[in-house]
Amino acid sequence: MLITVAVLPFPGASWQIETPAPSTGPTTLQASNTKPTGQDASSLQLTLKDALTLARKNSTVFQAAATNAAILAEDRKQARDALLPTVVYNNEVLYTQGNGAGSVRYIANNAVHEYISQGNVHEAIDLAGVANYRRTAAAAAVARARAEIASRGLVVTVVQSYFRVAAAQSKLEIAQRGASEGDQFFKISQELEAGGESAHSDVIRAELQMQDRHRLLQEAKLELLNAKLDLAVLIFPDFNESFEISDDLHASVPLPTLEEVQQEGAKDNPELRAALAGAQEAGHDVTDARAAYFPSLALDYFYGIDSAQFSTNSVIDNQRIHNLGSSASATLNIPIWNWGATQSRVKQAELRRTQAQRELSLAQRKLLAEMRSLYNEAETALNELAGLQRSAELASEGLRLAGLRYKGGEATVLEVVDAQNSFAVANTNYQDGAVRYRVALANLQTLTGALTTP
């Protein structure tokens, strides 16, 4: 079951004193087609999906996490390759001082001139290599989970910045209408004063209100500019503020049920995966440290030449000798004594493993708490949004009626000013409430991995 709310655009009904429209039913909120000052029809139309794609491509923080995951994936490949046989080809020339009789004076090599050119197949068999491979595999899993955490966190940041721009655009339209209404109210107060229907104090109050509306208009322009700059820095590789928001801030967006959030969050949560892989990595560290207690075996096979002449065949005492041959060796290293260094490394690894297990337990508990907390935040924001929408409707209607009553001499200037202020505050709260709900949904995405969209 989905909980939905039909969220309409910001209230655009502005009161007109000259031609009041009769009310024939419930107030309907309509979006204005007027673009705020500074918008360019040729600007890039940016959807939320586009913004997320650009952010993943250009975000330094996210790319750093992705790069680290790729680096550790290569570490895993290198550790795997270290378990497999290697083949090298050795070429070496050795010179030893002779004794004048054809043999060596200093016994270091087999002949005065010794030439080695041979391939070597080498394989090392030890527990440390296997443990190292498993450790690097777990570390790569941790890095992948961290990259996923960075990706989901980036979604929250982009959603917040994106809809901040949308809210700032709506606030600018409201401020533009407020400034226009302030001018109109000031003009009407002057006309009423000239006709002897109001006091000069009303004109003064209307002028103060007009100045305040124009000040709020300037603040709204600045807020929109700053919001666009923040988003541009986040998503574009170069400085670009020539774009417009396409997605509707007030579109109806469903809130999944708590059961769905809990199911999806427990199934593939990156924080939990990172903690689990970290505990596995720490366990393999213990195995790696303990491997120093056990023998290691190295196997080598050589094929080539190792002779006094650099050739596959040679002639000694008129006898043809075939120099090309092979040899093999096996080396078993048995650890005996190292002053307790191995025991110390094992103890260190066990301490890290214990801490990693504590962090895994904490991650599991935090996941359960965050599910409930973030879901309650989204549910509260959704429930409040309907009330904020209704408040904006009532403030719009109250402003219209106050203007009509003032023109008819039934209301004071303070009532009109209060209605104007209430209209501005209610609409500002409505825009901020819509942004809060969208950000709350994005925060749920950090648990479920799926961004709720219209």
> What confidence tier does 26 reach under pLDDT thresholds 50, 70, 90?
very low
Q: Are 298 and 124 in contact (CB under 8 A)?
A: yes
pLDDT of residue 42: 54
**Contacts of residue 127, Cβ cutoff 8 Å, sequence gap at least 6:** 287, 290, 291, 294, 296
Q: Is residue 232 over pLDDT 50? A: yes
Return d(Cα 242, Cα 41) in angstroms, integer: 10
Q: Is residue 7 over pLDDT 70? A: no
All structural domains of the chain with their residue ranges:
155-292+362-454
Q: Is residue 292 over pLDDT 70? A: yes
pLDDT of residue 239: 76
Contacts 24+ apart (CB under 8 A), 398-401: 398/422, 398/423, 399/14, 399/15, 399/181, 399/423, 400/13, 400/14, 400/15, 400/16, 400/20, 401/15
Out of 130-134, 262-266, 365-369, 389-393, least confident range: 262-266
Q: Is residue 202 over pLDDT 90? A: no
For range 400-409, the mean pLDDT:
83
What is the helix (H) or strand (E) element at residue 119, kind and residue range?
Answer: strand 113-125
Q: For 98-142, how does the pLDDT look when each residue is reduced to its tens digit (9 = 90+)? A: 777 667 777 777 788 888 899 999 999 889 899 999 999 999 999
Contacts 24+ apart (CB under 8 A), 78-82: 78/136, 79/129, 79/132, 79/133, 79/135, 79/136, 79/137, 80/133, 82/124, 82/129, 82/132, 82/133
First to last CA, the chain: 16
Percent share of the chain, pLDDT over 90: 43
pLDDT of residue 80: 92
Phi, psi angles (nearest 5°) of residue 253:
-120, 125
Q: Is residue 233 over pLDDT 60? A: yes
Q: Is residue 18 over pLDDT 70? A: no
Q: Are 131 and 281 in contact (CB under 8 A)?
A: no
Look over the chain and give the mean of its residue pLDDT values, rounded to a whole number. 84
For range 54-75, the mean pLDDT:
91
Give CA torsion, residues 427, 431, 437, 441, to 10 deg. 160
Q: Is residue 197 over pLDDT 80? A: no
> What confidence tier does 4 reach under pLDDT thresholds 50, 70, 90?
very low
Q: Is residue 2 over pLDDT 50? A: no
Q: For 237-246, how does the pLDDT look when each residue is reduced to its tens digit (9 = 90+)? A: 887 778 888 8
> What confidence tier does 19 reach under pLDDT thresholds 50, 70, 90?
very low
Q: Select, from the ranges 267-271, 380-384, 450-454, the one with the highest average predicted confidence (pLDDT).
A: 380-384
Return d(Cα 392, Cα 419) in angstroms, integer: 11
For range 308-325, the mean pLDDT:
82
Q: Which CATH superfamily, name and number, covers 155-292+362-454?
A: Outer membrane efflux proteins (OEP) (1.20.1600.10)
For range 140-159, the mean pLDDT:
91
Look up tokens 């708590």; give the residue.
258
For range 223-230, the mean pLDDT:
92
